[in-house]
Amino acid sequence: MSTTLYRPKRASSEGLVPLARRPAAQPRRARFVPWSAGSARIGCTPLVKLRLRIGHRWCDIWLKLEQFNRGGSIKDRTAYGLIEDLEERGHLHAADTIVESTSGNLGIGLALACQERGYRLLAVVDPMVSEYSLDKMRELGATIEMVRPADASQPPLARRLARVQDLREHDPRVVWTNQYGNLANPRIHRDHTGAEILRQLGHSPDAVFVAVSTGGTLKGISQYFRAAAPLCRIAAVDVEGSVVLGGSQGKRSIPGIGSSRQSDFLRDRPYDLASYISEAEAVAACHALRLCTNIGVGGSSGAVIAAAAHFLRLHPAADSVVCVCPDGSDRYEDSIYDLGWLRSKQINVEEGVTLPFDDIDCN
Ligand code: PMP
């Protein structure tokens, strides 16, 4: 099975010579193209092995680095899956406008797919979105609509979804990808992300840790692992203050992970463990990782790494875990990697945070 999700459907024939008429091969020096839209891919992201010290014990921790997707996050896969699904079901036509509520990463993935396939994108965002994501989406041709909650009691997501509903009611050419309920979301992670992890690893790990918001990534990976490696534990990772898995609502500032509503995909609890990590611990794990290994990840990845370390501490027989790291540090330099921003959000890391691991190392 091909592991590359990116298959241009309507590749332009410009510059291509049909095989039969191709001139005799000339010896040519390979030309290095650092980036081109046609060769940028989704999927086949690296699985990198690090070592985590828990007391006197060193454990293997594998990071699935989704920042190597073309738009810089795991949501490139979701965007691809959602659009393919709508096209296959005949719900998308040339010049339709796709509308979606996004915290940033899905918007970037959708903007890339829309640019490639000729759709317009209207991304509905709230003030938690990063400047980085806004710039990226605009650069790729998306229209942005920023919604502000009418009053403090209305969660930003509810306002975003109300606006999406409005837009759909007023324009029949507006099509909602619906990352919250479309089964194409978990499906792409079952068929690709989950399968890729197990194939790259070559054996079943003790557990796989996945951050949640819509729950699509977790649901899909769980579906794959439950069938292919049933002994592997599946861990859902959320931040304090989020209600994706239930619980009570609180203040949250890290974009991407968590939500003000429960996930529709996770009602049947397709996970064995649930972990709630504080935003300070998630941020501290990001900083420790970058300091010790030069690998920069986003806040949801920090939460996942912290959750994995708690698990390893509690399970002395476990020695190999996978952490799905949804994105990289590029989009968080002015937030979770900025002390001023952390202070403004009262995420207190300056006085030191006790991390659940004692060391992290690439050797
Ligand atoms: N981490 C980051 C950085 C994200 O952008 C998202 C998606 N918002 C998630 C984790 C959670 O993914 P999912 O929506 O599939 O649960």
Per-residue pLDDT reduced to its tens digit, 58-79:
999 999 999 999 999 999 999 9
- Ligand 1 center to residue 30 CA distance, Å? 38
**What is the atom index within ligand 1 of the atom nearest the CA of 214?**
14
Q: Name the closest-CA residue to atom 4, ligand 1.
A: 256
pLDDT of 1 over the 50 cut: no
Atom of ligand 1 nearest to the CA of 105: 5
Give the per-residue pLDDT at 40: 64
Residue 23 in this model has a pLDDT that exceeds 80: no
Which tokens hold the place of 173?
A: 């050419």
What's residue 331's pLDDT? 95
Res 55 pLDDT > 60: yes
Return the ligand 1 atom nearest residue 298 CA. 3
Residue 58 — φ and ψ, nearest 5°?
A: -100, 130
**What mean pLDDT do residues 138-159 have?**
88
| Atom 7 (ligand 1) nearest CA | 256
Range 196-222 average pLDDT: 98
What are the angstrom distances between the C-alpha of 284 and each of 62, 97, 156, 347? Answer: 19, 40, 26, 10
| Ligand 1 atom with minimal separation from the 300 CA | 1
Rounded mean pLDDT, 262-280: 97
pLDDT at 49 over 60: yes
Banded model confidence at residue 35, pLDDT cuts 50, 70, 90:
very low
Atom of ligand 1 nearest to the CA of 104: 5
Q: Where are the domains of the chain?
A: 37-69+185-361, 75-176
**Long-range contacts of 138-143, Cβ-Cβ distance < 8 Å, separation of 24 or more:** 140/108, 140/111, 140/112, 140/114, 140/115, 141/111, 141/114, 141/115, 142/107, 142/110, 142/111, 142/114
Record the pTM.
0.89
To test the pocket of ligand 1, the residue of 126, 257, 279 to mutate (highest count of ligand atoms within 8 Å of its CB) is 257
Mean pLDDT across the stretch 98-127? 96
CA distance 30 to 65: 28
CA of 57 to the centre of ligand 1 (A): 31
Helix and strand numbers, DSSP H then E, in the chain = 10, 11
- Name the pLDDT band for 208 (thresholds 50, 70, 90): very high
- Given a cut of 80, whether residue 17 has pLDDT beyond it is no
**Ligand 1 atom at minimum distance from 189 CA:** 15
Higher pLDDT, 155 or 254: 254
User: What pLDDT score was predicted for residue 29?
Assistant: 59
- The mean of the pLDDT values for the chain is 89
Nearest CA to ligand 1 atom 2: 256
Tokens of 257: 């992970």
**Residue 32 pLDDT exceeds 60:** no
Quickly count: other Cβ atoms within 10 Å of residue 206's Cβ: 19
Please tell me the least confidently modeled range out of 124-128, 146-150, 160-164, 200-204: 146-150
Instruction: Report CA(118)–ligand 1 centroid distance (Å).
Output: 25
Tell me the pLDDT band of 26, cut-offs 50, 70 and 90.
low
Domain at 75-176: CATH architecture: 3-Layer(aba) Sandwich (3.40)
Q: Measured in angstroms, how far is the CA atom of residue 214 from the centroid of ligand 1?
A: 7
User: What is residue 39's predicted lDDT score, i.e. its pLDDT?
Assistant: 43
Mean pLDDT in residue range 221-246 = 97
Query: Which has the closest alpha carbon to 165: 215, 101, 113, 97?
Result: 101
Ligand 1 atom closest to the Cα of residue 265 is 16
Q: What pLDDT was estimated at residue 275?
A: 97
Tell me how far the alpha carbon of residue 282 lies from the centroid of ligand 1, in angstroms. 14
pLDDT tens per residue, range 122-146: 999 998 899 999 999 999 999 999 9
Res 352: pLDDT: 86
Q: Looking at residues 303-329, what average pLDDT do you find? A: 97
Can you tell me the mean pLDDT for 323-348?
96
Binning pLDDT at 50, 70 and 90, where does residue 38 land? Answer: very low
| Domain pair 37-69+185-361 / 75-176, same fold | yes
Distance, in Å, from the CA atom of 246 to the CA atom of 232, rounded to the nearest integer, reads: 24
Expressed in angstroms and rounded, the spacing between residue 285 Cα and the centre of ligand 1 is: 18
pLDDT at 47 over 70: yes
Convert the pLDDT of each residue in 274-288 to its tens digit. Answer: 999 999 999 999 999
Task: Specify the pLDDT at position 154.
Answer: 81
Judged against a pLDDT cut of 90, whether residue 11 lies above it is answered with no
- Model confidence at 312: pLDDT above 80: yes
The residues, any chain, with a CB within 8 Å of residue 199's CB and separated by 6 or more, are 3
What's the rounded mean pLDDT across residues 293-314? Answer: 98
User: Can you give the pLDDT at residue 251?
Assistant: 92
Is 216 a residue whose pLDDT tops 90? yes
Torsion of CA 301, 67, 188, 85, to 10 degrees: 130
Question: Residue 69's closest CA among 42, 46, 34?
Answer: 42
Question: What is the CATH number assigned to the segment(s) 37-69+185-361?
Answer: 3.40.50.1100
Examine the pLDDT at 31 and tell me if it is beyond 90.
Answer: no
Q: Nearest residue CA, atom 8 of ligand 1?
A: 256
How far does residue 248's CA lie from ligand 1's centre (Å)? 20
> What pLDDT band is residue 16 in, cutting at 50, 70 and 90?
very low
Which of these, 302, 300, 295, lies nearest to 281 by C-alpha position?
302
Q: Give the pocket of ligand 1 (CB within 6 Å).
A: 73, 75, 103, 105, 211-218, 256-257, 298, 300, 326-327
- Centre of ligand 1 from the C-alpha of residue 249, in Å: 18
User: How many residues are recorded in the chain?
Assistant: 363
Instruction: Give 211 Cα–ligand 1 centroid separation in angstroms.
Output: 7
